């Protein structure tokens, strides 16, 4: 597509407005949520010294999103019109596509760690998740790399009349990217299914408290992400040239922001259980990664005798299930004995 036909300008502007609005909403959520939760980050992460993998991935996910989206802001809202704008926009768009892959890899790694902990470090679960993730990443990398080999008719020569880089996406490129996002959708559905399966297992064992945590965490997070991914995929396959992939930035931002929220809630002091407590304080959007605000030593073995007065009786199945799962999650997130 070379230059814009003047007869199509009203439709072009309408599609561009949809693109701009989605991008503006996504970026506003990203930076506004960062401002809202910065105090929680300081109190729950900055004050704790020492290295942990949980903190490392939290910072990586959070600040990769904050600073990595700066070129994306330029891509969408650049008001300059230099002679080489088409070439600069092409570079910005290629950066954006690779950046999306990197963010999704970070999110996938954190979700793999979470599910791995829930399943008591099952290697089978780990291998299945890694295989699905590598497949999705491979599809995404192929879609982006193959998009470089565009014909002269696909070069972004139609960006000049508009604010930002408004290059349209060809049908072939859209199909490739849509297939790549299908891989991420399969991954999200897989993790949600595994989480739900574990929740039902614990329900049969009497672990009602942990079931509440699992379902609240999983249903809210994966519900939003799956709907967002599905909407994004539909735009690739069914949208017009300037609508294709319009939800990509929104999906990327929501994935990163919600995962940061989950990690912040992990260290909520209200979730720290005392030795005499067998319940967990209910709190919105809490996670099964119950990561206390202080580093713990090796987990003590669970006492099974009825004389033990550590807050759990021998017949308190929910308490024992919750304790074991909590210890596994803590150890996993601290990554103390991962080889």
% of the chain at pLDDT higher than 90: 22
CA distance 226 to 228: 5
pLDDT score, position 90: 84
Identify the residue with better confidence: 78 or 151. Answer: 78
Residue 186 and residue 192: Cα distance in Å, rounded? Answer: 10
pLDDT for 290 beyond 50: no
Of the candidate ranges 61-65, 192-196, 253-257, 264-268, the one whose mean pLDDT is the lowest: 264-268
Least confident of 50-54, 70-74, 217-221: 217-221
Q: Helices 317-334 and 85-118, interaxial angle, to 10°?
A: 140
Output phi, psi for 239, to 5 deg: -80, 165
Predicted pLDDT of residue 117: 83
Q: So where are the chain's domains?
A: 12-267
Q: Of 59-73, 78-92, 202-216, which one has max mean pLDDT?
A: 59-73
CA–CA gap between residue 145 and residue 139 (Å, rounded): 10
pLDDT at 324: 41
Q: Which of 14-18, 257-261, 285-289, 308-312 has the highest mean pLDDT?
A: 257-261
Global confidence as pTM: 0.73
pLDDT one-digit tens code per residue, 195-249: 888 877 776 665 555 556 656 666 777 788 889 999 999 989 888 777 888 889 9
The answer to whether the CB of 261 falls within 8 A of the CB of 37 is yes
From 10-14, 282-286, 334-338, the region with the lowest mean pLDDT: 282-286
Higher pLDDT, 174 or 315: 174
* pLDDT tens digits along 109-152: 998 988 888 888 899 999 999 999 999 888 888 877 776 555 44
Percent of the chain with pLDDT over 70: 65
pLDDT at residue number 26: 93
Question: In the structure, what pLDDT confidence band is assigned to residue 29 with cuts at 50, 70 and 90?
Answer: very high
Residue 95 contacts residue 50 (beta carbons within 8 Å)? no
Q: Which fold has domain 12-267?
A: Rhopdopsin 7-helix transmembrane proteins (1.20.1070)
Q: Which two tokens stand for residue 32?
A: 């506004």
Q: How far is CA 75 from CA 92, 109, 170, in A?
A: 6, 28, 18
**What confidence category does residue 194 fall into, taking pLDDT thresholds of 50, 70 and 90?**
confident
Nearest to 106 by CA among 84, 76, 137, 77: 137
DSSP 8-state assignment for residue 255: H
**301: burial class by Cβ within 10 Å (0-12, 13-18, 19+)?**
exposed
Task: Pick 186 or 87 by higher pLDDT.
Answer: 186
**Confidence at residue 5, expressed as pLDDT on a 0 to 100 scale:** 47
């Amino acid at each position: 597509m070379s230059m814009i036909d003047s007869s199509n300008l009203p439709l072009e502007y309408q599609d561009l407005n949809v693109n701009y609005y989605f991008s503006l909403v996504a970026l506003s959520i990203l930076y506004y949520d960062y401002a809202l939760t910065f105090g929680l980050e300081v109190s729950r992460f900055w004050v704790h010294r020492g290295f942990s993998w949980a903190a490392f991935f939290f910072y990586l996910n959070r600040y990769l999103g904050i600073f990595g989206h700066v070129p994306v802001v330029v891509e969408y809202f650049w008001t300059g019109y230099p002679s080489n704008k088409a070439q600069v926009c092409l570079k910005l768009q290629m950066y954006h596509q690779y950046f999306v892959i990197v963010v999704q890899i970070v999110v996938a790694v954190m979700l793999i760690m979470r599910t791995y902990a829930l399943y008591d470090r099952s290697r089978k679960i780990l291998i299945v998740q890694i295989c699905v993730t590598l497949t999705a990443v491979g599809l995404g990398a192929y879609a982006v790399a193959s998009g470089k080999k565009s014909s002269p008719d696909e070069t972004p020569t139609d960006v000049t009349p508009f604010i930002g880089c408004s290059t349209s996406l060809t049908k072939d490129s859209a199909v490739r990217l849509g297939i790549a996002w299908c891989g991420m959708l399969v991954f999200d559905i897989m993790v949600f299914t595994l989480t739900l399966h574990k929740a039902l297992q614990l329900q049969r064992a009497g672990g009602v408290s942990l079931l509440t945590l699992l379902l609240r965490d999983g249903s809210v997070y994966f519900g939003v992400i799956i709907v967002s991914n599905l909407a994004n995929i539909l735009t690739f396959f069914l949208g017009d040239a300037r609508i294709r992939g319009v939800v990509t930035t929104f999906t990327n931002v929501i994935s990163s922001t919600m995962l940061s929220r989950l990690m912040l809630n992990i260290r909520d002091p209200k979730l720290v259980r005392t030795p005499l407590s067998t319940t967990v304080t209910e709190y919105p959007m809490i996670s099964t990664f119950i990561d206390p605000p202080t580093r713990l030593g090796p987990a003590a073995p669970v006492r099974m005798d009825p004389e033990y007065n550590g807050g759990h009786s021998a017949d308190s199945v929910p308490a024992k299930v919750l304790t074991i799962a909590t210890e596994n999650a803590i150890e996993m997130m601290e990554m103390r004995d991962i080889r």
